Amino acid sequence: MSLPFRYPPFSIPTEFDALRREVREFLNEAAKNWSGWDLGHSWMAFNREFSREVGRRGWIGITWPKQYGGHERTALERYVVVEEMLAIGAPVGAHWVGDRQSGPLLLRIGSEAQKQRFLPGIAAGELAFCIGLSEPGAGSDLASIRSRAERVAGGWQLNGRKVWTTYAQHSDFMIGLFRSHGSPPLDVNKGTDKHKGLSQFLIDLKTPGIEVRPIRDLTGEAHFNEITFDDVFVPDDLLLGQEGEGWAQANAELAFERSGPDRYLSSFPLLAPTIDAVRADERSDLPATNDRLTARRIGEAVADIVTLREMSLSILGRLADGETPAQEAALTKDLGTTFEQRLPEMVREIREQLPVRDDSQALSAMHVFLTETTPTFSLRGGTREIMRGIIARGLGLR
């Protein structure tokens, strides 16, 4: 039995080459001010002014209806823009979640008032969204969450905690998943169906009762956060979709998160300067690094990129058809993050250098940042173990 990837996948027509050149020229100019450390952040870098400029150029919400601030272009045109952004390591974090995930979910299940309120701001690069899924003690097992939403006059009262929420400290809104009904609270030992009674809410992060605590990592920076909700009020009109349908809604949302080029291109900016460095060694008096091992490692990396790109484009076709290819997205995410985690080690191996930060050398600074952060890549968006469980279920193995 095999997973139903579309083959051959969507191809990107040559008619979009002009868009690719336009995006590339813009990025080449913008990148003159970015260090190797900056480039290593890729879509984890949060820069509101950059996102506003991308919005002014019409590259956020590119496929959305014009009535919501979009531009009614094709999914393949969006893919071209995203590829170019990720390939160079552009700081897209301020609009990334809204464009990739929250906006499409609002388009699919949001009320008309919600679409009118939020989508134009996302498309303009003005509204930043984050995702409230994981919790202490639950992690990637989203159905085990215990944070609760209780009905009160005029809306809902939220209590609980979320963790590993990327850039919550800078974001404007969160789409959070809470257990909205069912009493007593979740108790899997008593046969409670943990997939029922979940709902999603649009949460203004400036609401009283919300505390955001940044979590510092090996780089000394804080990309993740723990968030506490203490009697946080959310009005009725910010319930997203249907009460109790949060499990299905969140899974549809995660198909967007797990299948895109960000799941194999996060370390990609490291590859081109590594190849340039190998070529420079050949032309210098240094011992040549372009031996058979180097050629093999670089060839393997390029082959992996080509394969992962075809898988991602295949899923894009199914999403465009309104399907929810959860198993295929999980497979792409698992293989893609494995590839991303291998790249820094490949560079160390072929360059025969430990990652030591030197801000005067773009390759060195980027190598250090990615060496310190790639271990997290198989956690974000769902752990490797969870992904393989989803794949096994899709294959009928569990």
Each residue's pLDDT tens digit, 227-257: 999 999 999 999 999 999 998 888 776 666 6
Quick one: average pLDDT of 90-104?
95
Confidence at residue 257, expressed as pLDDT on a 0 to 100 scale: 66
What is the β-pairing status of strands 210-216 and 173-179? unpaired
Can you give the pTM of this predicted structure? 0.86
Confidence of residue 7 (pLDDT cuts 50, 70, 90): very low
CATH of 260-394, one of 1.20.140.10, 2.160.20.10, 1.20.120.450, 1.10.1270.20: 1.20.140.10
Q: What are phi and psi of 163, to 5 degrees?
A: -140, 160
Confidence of residue 4 (pLDDT cuts 50, 70, 90): very low
Residue spans of beta strands (DSSP E) within the chain: 129-132, 148-152, 155-163, 173-179, 198-204, 210-216, 222-235, 239-240
Confidence at residue 89, expressed as pLDDT on a 0 to 100 scale: 94
Confidence at residue 240, expressed as pLDDT on a 0 to 100 scale: 97
Of the chain, the percentage scoring pLDDT greater than 70 comes to 90
Confidence at residue 87, expressed as pLDDT on a 0 to 100 scale: 93
CATH of 14-127, one of 2.60.120.1440, 3.40.50.720, 3.40.50.1820, 1.10.540.10: 1.10.540.10
Helix (H, G, I), strand (E, B) or coil at 157: strand
The domain locations on the chain are: 14-127, 131-245, 260-394
- Does residue 8 register a pLDDT over 50? no
From residue 246, how far is each of 96, 109, 168, 194, 252 by CA, in Å?
22, 11, 21, 11, 10
CA dihedral 127, 133, 134, 140 (to 10 degrees): -120
Which range is least confidently modeled, 71-80, 209-218, 249-258, 263-272?
249-258
Each residue's pLDDT tens digit, 175-196: 999 999 754 455 545 555 788 8
d(CA 20, CA 300): 26
> 362: exposed, middle or buried (C-beta count within 10 Å: 0-12, 13-18, 19+)?
buried
Confidence of residue 314 (pLDDT cuts 50, 70, 90): confident
Better pLDDT: 321 or 339: 339
The residue with tokens 């199914």 is 318
Quick one: average pLDDT of 86-90?
94
Reply yes or no on domain 131-245 having CATH 2.40.110.10: yes
Confidence at residue 259, expressed as pLDDT on a 0 to 100 scale: 66
d(CA 247, CA 398): 20
Decide: 180 and 244 in contact? Cβ < 8 Å: yes
Q: What are phi and psi of 196, to 5 degrees?
A: -100, 160
Quick one: average pLDDT of 101-122?
96
Each residue's pLDDT tens digit, 134-172: 899 876 677 788 999 999 999 999 999 999 899 999 999
